[in-house]
């Protein structure tokens, strides 16, 4: 929790519950998912508290906002460089680590200096293939 103090985040009990929920979470939850989980312990907490905390973490580089699902924003507490594999049926998101070299011609770069990339792979997860997904 020290890293959050270092970025100037006030650590209220509600924020600590949100941070604990996110710590090591690989599910790429939405704000709604986080609210549902954390409000069990803090029933008086508002959705705005969750959303504002997520936005603050995103702005300070401690959380990545994913726009993979057009119906809702998802959040990734893992800020290390990685890519994602997304099930097109149930929207499950899995982290993928690897350095994928994609050659881009100078004409396609349009003068850009490439400093990184994020690749999204799409497919159908094993659970959905077996008929158990959403």
Residues making up the binding site: 87, 90, 125, 128
Residue 133 and residue 124: Cα distance in Å, rounded? Answer: 9
Question: How many beta carbons lie within 10 A of that of residue 4, not counting itself?
Answer: 17
Query: Which residues are known binding-site members for Zn(2+)?
Result: 87, 90, 125, 128
Q: Write the Ramachandran bin of 91: left for phi over 0, alpha for psi from -120 to 50, otherwise beta.
A: left
Residue 100 and residue 130: Cα distance in Å, rounded? Answer: 29
Q: Which pairing describes strands 93-96 and 74-76: parallel, antiparallel, or unpaired? A: unpaired
């Amino acid at each position: 929790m020290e890293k959050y103090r270092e970025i100037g985040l006030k650590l209220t009990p509600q924020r600590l519950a949100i941070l604990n929920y996110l710590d090591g979470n690989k599910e790429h939850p939405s704000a709604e998912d986080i609210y549902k989980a954390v409000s069990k312990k803090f029933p008086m907490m508002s959705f705005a508290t969750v959303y504002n905390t997520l936005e603050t973490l995103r702005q300070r580089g401690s959380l990545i906002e994913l726009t993979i699902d057009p119906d809702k924003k998802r959040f990734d507490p893992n800020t290390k460089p990685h890519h994602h594999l997304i099930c097109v049926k149930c929207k499950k998101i899995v982290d993928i680590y690897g350095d994928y070299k994609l050659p881009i011609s100078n004409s396609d770069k349009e003068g850009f200096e490439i400093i990184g990339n994020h690749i999204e792979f799409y497919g159908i997860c094993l659970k959905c293939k077996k008929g158990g997904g959403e």
